[in-house]
Amino acid sequence: MPQRTTDTTEPESSGPKSSRTRERLLDAAALVLARKGFAGTRLSDIAEEAAVQAPAIYYYYPSREDLIEEVMFVGAAAMRAHLTDALAALPANATPVDRISTAVEAHLRHELEISDYAKAIIRNGNQLPEQVGRRALAEIAGYNDIWRTLVAELESTGQLRADVEPAVGRMIVLGALNWAAEWWNPERGPIGELIRTAQSMVLHSLRP
C-alpha cells in the first residue's frame, strides 16, 4: 500500500491544481462529517484525510464553517440533480408508480453507494447553524418538492390510499429511506436487494 504524502507547499490561488485541492478538501470534509458529525468534525481530521497541512485549508476556506457550508450545499445540489436526472431518463409514458419506484432507487443509491456528501447531509442537516445550512436547506427543499410532486401524481391518478395524508406519507417515506444510512452496509446483502424491498414497502404503504 503506497504511503500517503502530505502537501506542505503553499497552494496556488487558482488553476487546475487549486481546483483539485478544493475538491479533495470537500471530499475529505464530507467523509469526516458523515463519520463524526458537525460537532465532532475538526479541520485537523479533514486535513489528514485530504493529505494536506491543516493551515493550508485557510487558503481555500476562511473557516471550518465555510468549508462545511460548501460541503453541505454541494452535496444537497448533487442529490437533487441525481434524482432529477433519474426521473428525466424515464420514458414519457412512465406511470406515477414507475416514477416513485425510480425515486426510491435514486435516493438509496446516492445515499449508500455514490456519495459521502449525501450521508453528511442526512446526518447533519438538523445540527447546522442557520448561516451554515442556509444554501443546503434551499436545495433540500427543492428535493422535497420533487417528492411532493411524485406523491401528488399518485394521488391525482387515484393510486394514493384515502387514509394517507400526502405530506405525512412523503415525510415518513423519506425518513425511512434516510435511516438506511445509519444501519445498512454491504455485509447485510447486495444493495439491489435493499432497493427492491424498499420499493415494495413504499408502494404497498402508499397505494390502496
Q: CATH number, domain at 133?
A: 1.10.357.10
pLDDT of residue 9: 43
Parent domain of 107: 65-206
Domain count of the fold of the chain? 1
Distances (CA, A) of 172 to 18, 79, 140, 160: 42, 19, 16, 14
Tell me the backbone φ, ψ of residue 52, rounded to 5 degrees. Answer: -135, 165
Tell me the backbone φ, ψ of residue 189, rounded to 5 degrees. Answer: 135, 170
What's the grid cell of residue 4?
A: 500517503
In a domain, 18, yes or no: no
| Cα atoms found within 13 Å of the Cα of residue 192, Cβ hemisphere only | 0
In a domain, 150, yes or no: yes
Burial of 39 (0-12, 13-18, 19+ CB in 10 A): exposed
pLDDT of residue 187: 86
pLDDT of residue 16: 66
In a domain, 25, yes or no: no
In a domain, 51, yes or no: no
In a domain, 3, yes or no: no
In a domain, 72, yes or no: yes
pLDDT tens for the chain, 208 residues: list them: 333 334 444 444 456 677 888 899 999 999 999 899 888 999 999 999 999 998 989 999 999 999 999 999 999 999 999 999 999 999 999 999 999 999 999 999 999 988 888 888 888 877 788 888 888 889 999 999 999 999 999 999 999 999 999 999 999 999 999 999 888 988 888 999 999 999 999 999 999 9
pLDDT of residue 186: 85
Q: Are 77 and 47 in contact (CB under 8 A)?
A: no
Question: Radius of gyration over alpha carbons of the chain, in Å?
Answer: 19
